[in-house]
A and B are shown apart, each in its own frame.
Chain A
Amino acid sequence: TQLLEQSPQFLSIQEGENLTVYCNSSSVFSSLQWYRQEPGEGPVLLVTVVTGGEVKKLKRLTFQFGDARKDSSLHITAAQPGDTGLYLCAGSMIQGAQKLVFGQGTRLTINP
């Protein structure tokens, strides 16, 4: 069983559409991160959220940490083909600890 469940696992949409990816758990996390991974490469950090209810924006990407710090979402506005990739959420259960638990990933395809 996954400690962090991501949904959907696969998503294919047209350029210009909006989408939301979810990362859910029954456990509380001290911080949560989102990574993006392109084929043949390692994951690259997009954002870290640490406070319940926190919202961070990165251009067309909006990240939210749930009030109870058990879940997070990634919303992309007006998706572009360059957003295609594997999106991974990862959580740290102990403040200051440097170990992360990863979700299984959401494979996103944006069609021109």
Chain B
Amino acid sequence: NAGVTQTPKFRILKIGQSMTLQCTQDMNHNYMYWYRQDPGMGLKLIYYSVGAGITDKGEVPNGYNVSRSTTEDFPLRLELAAPSQTSVYFCASGGAYNEQFFGPGTRLTVL
């Protein structure tokens, strides 16, 4: 089992560019999440999904979009990158007892 995998590990974007952060889990979890982690700020929920075809906004959804066409995949789309989106992005999937399993993260810099 690979758990939760994320690609890419690092990315530098110019202001206004777009990109998709990929996330895949092989634990057959229904719940999946996207967080961003800024220095000293813990984790902030961007979007989450309770199953294929169902997504909902978290605490900081502006500037992001998601889709969930399969149980395994939960990509995060940035349409017009801004410097405020410079952060480390973590994808997670949820187990049966509220625990969450995290991927290794994507470090994104917008210049």
Contacts and interface: CB of A to CB of B under 8 A. Distances in A.
Interface of A: 2, 4, 6, 9, 31, 33, 40-45, 48, 88, 90, 92, 97-100, 102-105
A97 B98 CA distance: 7
Given A33-B99, A45-B99, A98-B50, A40 B42 contact: no
Nearest to A10: B40
Contact of B98 (A2, A33, A44, A102): A33
A43 B98 contact: no
A105 B42 CA distance: 6
Interface residues of B, number: 24
Contacts of A4: 42
Nearest to B9: A40
A104 B42 contact: yes
A102 B43 contact: yes
Interface stretch (B62-70, B72-80, B102-110): B102-110
A94 B107 CA distance: 31
9 contacts: A2-B42, A33-B98, A42-B90, A45-B99, A48-B98, A92-B98, A98-B94, A99-B58, A102-B43
A100 B42 contact: no
B48 A99 contact: yes
Contact of B40 (A9, A41, A102): A9
A42 B43 CA distance: 11
B92 to A, nearest CB: 7
B7 to A, nearest CB: 14
Most chain-B CB neighbours within 10 Å: which of A6, A92, A98, A100? A98
Given A9-B40, A41-B105, A98 B98 contact: yes
Interface string B47-69: 01010000000100000000000
